[in-house]
Structure 1
Amino acid sequence: MEIKARGLTFDVFEGGPEDGEPVLLLHGFPQDHREFDLILPRLHEAGLRTYALDQRGYSPGARPEEVSAYGITEPAADAVAVLDALGLESAHVIGHDWGAQVAWLLAALHPERVRSLTAISVPHPKALQLAMRVRPSQRARFAYFALFRSPIAERFLLAGGGAALKAMLRPIGDRAKLYVDAMRHDPGRLTGGLNWYRGLHGPDLGAVQVITVPTTYIWPDRDGVVARTAALRTRDWVEADFELVVLRGVSHWAPEQAAESVADCALARIRPA
């Protein structure tokens, strides 16, 4: 369905029992709402109502031209506005990659809107900032940001039929084609996704302070983006029930590479024993 919020039109994909507890799912780059397809059946079987949002830059009706419109506080405000438009006072929130960053910000600034948080791959921003300061290896893992923020990023990522995108997404096998084809056929989607990198300013993440909602952080230990220090120090920034789950042998793309494990973790957080 299409949801109008903040002067934009977002594509939102709903599923599960209409009377189920609501779950808002926030994707990352270079994916879209489909990155959660493999965990949704488990959530629906558990009686949950899901809303998978194609975020700004990905929904065709939500692509502002100016890079400043992609600062991380903007998609967090989008999430609040979408909840409002859906008539939901609060929801469980599951986010991966950039979607996890949005989810951390949402939980920090609007804890009353977040029943529980499941963040995948990307840790609490303060923990990541600490790791960037003290671990050269963590800084090295973010070297790709310079390329993604550059004017040549689109050309580089789409060259050779999207070879670089396919290489990034190799751990998810044939599913990579879903996202590569979407960006090849709709280059504005790729620019919209890259504008999240171009619009990021460190001070924006300063608003992400202590989290006070029940939280699970899922860290795949073969994540090429996030090293161990940032994962372990996330606990320092959650003053609520917290669990760190380490997925052994799994890459950054956990929702598709290890869907059953991610679903188990999400359901344990949403429906704790």
Structure 2
Amino acid sequence: MKKLLFALFILITFLVSQMKQPSIDKHSENNNESFIEVHHGELVFSCRSAGLENTGEAVILLHGFPETSHMWVDLLHQLSSRGYRVIAPNQRGYSPGARPGDIKEYSIKNIAEDVFALADAFDFEQFHLVGHDWGSAIGWAVVALQPEKVLSWTAMSVPHMKAFSYAYKYDKDQQERSKYIGFFKLPFIPELYFSWNKYSNLKNIWNKSSPEQKGIYLNVFQQRGALKAALNWYRANIGTTVEAEDQIAFDDVTVPSQLIWGNRDMALGRTGAELTGDYMKGPYRLIELDAGHWLIQESFPEVSSAIIEHIEKHTEIKNK
């Protein structure tokens, strides 16, 4: 009897451990695109990947609003050709299997925890991190929560969270640029606005994207609940009281970092970009480009070169 009870205990322990651990399930095809599906609790994330068979360091690429992991397709292959193992997830709300209904589920901390779960699923003990727009906000959280996991960090467009918070509160220029946020936080109205007339207002945002990319983006946002989930990032995090367990102390950063910012960005002004350096205690540089918000589409040669240079500078093992 004791042996039977012991065997049952071992079996239950194993099953529970498997339930808690994120795992890679399978490859899936969606609209002729290939994804790896990753389970994290009840959520299933669709991830683009490249070079997973390589032996080099890992790189995670985080998209923002209203884009998907497709924004990274060219950079994915550039990095993998240099020996890196690269993933670009469709983040919480953008993956069909990762759209919880509660607004609180879209806190920055929850989404940052998704990044750690994805890293664990791919056995990335450490990784280089790149983010744009909301992906940058999540990246700043990742760096704040577990800096020891991040080999290098590239933020695009969005400054350090304390720098943005200061500009949002005190800088008139940034306040003007951020007026759209109040609209995005309204219930159901922005969903109607963006989906009106076959999503014409959403398509207008993608004016720097190729027709192919616009179609891929639209395929995601036409899915049930996708637009609401993407807007919930604003509703959960800006001008909202964040619950104690979801609060993050965005302290000074020691991870080697760079901020790539376009001086014609319609949403993010100079004050936050220039203040970011005040919170950097490790290697840091600000790269100012004569570009707008959609940096990867507008200035791909300059952006990709800066990202690759930064990653290679802080690569600890020789990629093969």
TM class by smaller structure: over 0.9
Match among 240, 263, 266 for residue 282 of structure 2? 240
Structure 2: which 5+ residue stretches go unaligned?
A: 1-35, 315-320
**What TM-score, normalized by structure 1, do the two folds share?**
0.94
* Cα distance per residue 1:123-151 (max 9 Å; x no partner): 10111111122211101111111221112
Match among 229, 237, 258 for residue 216 of structure 1? 258
Aligned pairs for 1:48-59 within 5 A:
48-59=84-95
1:211–1:98: structure 2 CA closer, same or farther, 3 Å change rule? same
> Structure 1 residue 205: deviation in Å?
6.6
What's 1:182 paired with? 220
1:205–1:227: structure 2 CA closer, same or farther, 3 Å change rule? farther
Counterpart-to-counterpart distance in 1, 2:37 and 2:192? 30
In the alignment, structure 1 residue 172 sits paired with structure 2 residue 213:
no
Counterpart-to-counterpart distance in 2, 1:84 and 1:240? 26
In the alignment, structure 1 residue 198 sits paired with structure 2 residue 235:
yes
What's 2:311 paired with? 270
Is the Cα–Cα contact under 8 Å of residues 171 and 251 in structure 1 kept in the other structure? no
Is the Cα–Cα contact under 8 Å of residues 109 and 248 in structure 2 kept in the other structure? no
In the alignment, structure 1 residue 157 sits paired with structure 2 residue 157:
no
SS of alignment partner, residue 225 of structure 2: helix
Is the Cα–Cα contact under 8 Å of residues 36 and 256 in structure 1 kept in the other structure? no
SS of alignment partner, residue 228 of structure 2: helix
Is the Cα–Cα contact under 8 Å of residues 39 and 255 in structure 1 kept in the other structure? no
Q: Specify the code of the residue in structure 1 equivalent to 2:203.
A: K
Is the Cα–Cα contact under 8 Å of residues 43 and 263 in structure 1 kept in the other structure? no
What is the root-mean-square deviation of aligned Cα atoms in Å? Answer: 1.6
SS of alignment partner, residue 39 of structure 1: helix
SS of alignment partner, residue 24 of structure 1: strand
> Structure 1 residue 241: deviation in Å?
0.4
SS of alignment partner, residue 229 of structure 1: helix
Aligned pairs for 1:16-55 within 5 A:
16=51, 17-55=53-91
Counterpart-to-counterpart distance in 1, 2:260 and 2:247? 20
**What TM-score, normalized by structure 2, do the two folds share?**
0.81
Structure 1: which 5+ residue stretches go unaligned?
A: none
Could you tell me the percent identity over the aligned residues? 35
Is the Cα–Cα contact under 8 Å of residues 166 and 177 in structure 1 kept in the other structure? no
What's 1:77 paired with? 113
> Structure 1 residue 87: deviation in Å?
1.3
Q: Specify the code of the residue in structure 1 equivalent to 2:123.
A: G
Q: Specify the code of the residue in structure 1 equivalent to 2:255.
A: V
Match among 265, 271, 291 for residue 229 of structure 1? 271
Is the Cα–Cα contact under 8 Å of residues 261 and 289 in structure 2 kept in the other structure? yes
Q: Specify the code of the residue in structure 1 equivalent to 2:107.
A: G
Q: Specify the code of the residue in structure 2 equivalent to 1:6.
A: G
> Structure 1 residue 62: deviation in Å?
0.8
Structure 1 runs (4+) deviating above 4 angstroms are 201-206
- The size of the alignment, in residue pairs, is 271
Counterpart-to-counterpart distance in 2, 1:95 and 1:190? 20
Is the Cα–Cα contact under 8 Å of residues 253 and 281 in structure 2 kept in the other structure? yes
Structure ranking higher on relative contact order (CA contacts 8 Å, 6+ apart): 1
> Structure 1 residue 10: deviation in Å?
0.9
**Deviates further, 16-25 or 61-70:** 16-25
